[in-house]
Amino acid sequence: MMNSTQVSYFTLAAYLDTGPFKYLYFMIVMSLYIFIVSVNVMLIVVICVNRSLHEPMYIFLCSLFVNNLYGSTGLFPFLLVQILSDIHTVSAPFCFLQIYCVYTYGAVEYLNLAIMSYDRYLAICYPLQYNSHMTSKKIATLIALTWLYPLIACIVYTIYLHSHSQLCGNVINKVYCDGHSIVKLACSDSHIVNALGLILTFGVIFGALIVIIYTYMNIFKVCFSGSKQTRQKAVSTCTPHLASLFNFSVGASFELLQSRFNFTNVPIMMRIFLSVYFLTFPPLFNPVMYGLKMSKIRVIGKSLPAHSHSQLVKH
């Protein structure tokens, strides 16, 4: 029996022997990563330098784009190295660091989407009181909570995982390091660390979902009680957020199901795709979606009745 301190490296068994095609895969993944970094950085810069965009919605969007960069950087450089390597191993310290980055990214993404739904709730349901509700102090508090809770919770989980897991192997059946994959290697009682992971995961998910469901129930109630034009324009402003929420939720669900249940009957290429979906597609999808909608949002807002939905110009 060997414990986690004696494991110096892990072997990632999901990589296939692609022969000369590895250079093609490398170029595809490199191009995807460059595109993700470029569009996210571009929109962050646009929001930062344009004072007219220093509004709550764009500040929350900026936080979302920063997290996109954080999550994709925790995966893509590692993938690029592994694609070109003939021996798919990773040192134990780096493996636990990657687990921390991946879990933090997922938690921040969900919480960020939750506060964005809250922002829309205030703008649509309480337009006249919006500025008094969404103050600079409140924005800073929401952003701080969105980042600090995952950063602290995930480091507690990662340290506990490292120090309380006695491992009987070092082979991970994925293309990157994953916390539950480490738990599966444990030959000691792993119920506590497994329960801790579930509590932290579902605490974030259900907490965010409660906020999102409550806010959208009220948003749609206000929208559908108004005129047809107001309803169409107000719902349109929520489309990018709902699309981002759906995209990330689908990817995260794939990963959670694959980690917890036996997917050996699924082709390995499909398993690899499902495991990296939530780390690759949201960072690609979010800036494209919001970049296309940004210039249209203000046009939509200008056509709404000023006395009832003035804040939608900003949202």
Q: What is the pLDDT of residues 274-303, one digit of tens each?
A: 889 999 999 999 988 887 766 543 443 344
261 vs 10 pLDDT, higher one: 10
Whether the pLDDT of residue 176 is over 60: the answer is yes
Q: How far apart are CA 111 and CA 197, in angstroms?
A: 17
> Per residue, what are the HEC states of 175-211?
CCCCHHHHHHCECCCCHHHHHHHHHHHHHHHHHHHHH
* Architecture of domain 2-313 in this structure: Up-down Bundle (1.20)
* Tokens (6 digits) for 172: 């991970």
Which run of H or of E encompasses 167? strand 166-167
Q: What is the pLDDT of residues 80-131, one digit of tens each?
A: 999 988 888 999 889 999 999 999 999 999 999 999 999 988 888 888 888 8
The ranges assigned to domains in the chain are: 2-313
Q: Provide mean pLDDT across the span 39-43.
A: 91
Q: Helices 191-225 and 228-260: crossing angle, nearest 10°? A: 170
β partners of residue 12: 172
Q: What is the pLDDT of residues 138-155, one digit of tens each?
A: 999 999 999 999 999 999
| C-alpha 229, offset from chain centre | 33
CB 166 within 8 A of CB 1: yes
- Give the number of C-alpha atoms closer than 13 A to the C-alpha of residue 58, restricted to the C-beta side: 22
Whether the pLDDT of residue 223 is over 70: the answer is yes
Task: Give the CA radius of gyration of the chain.
Answer: 21
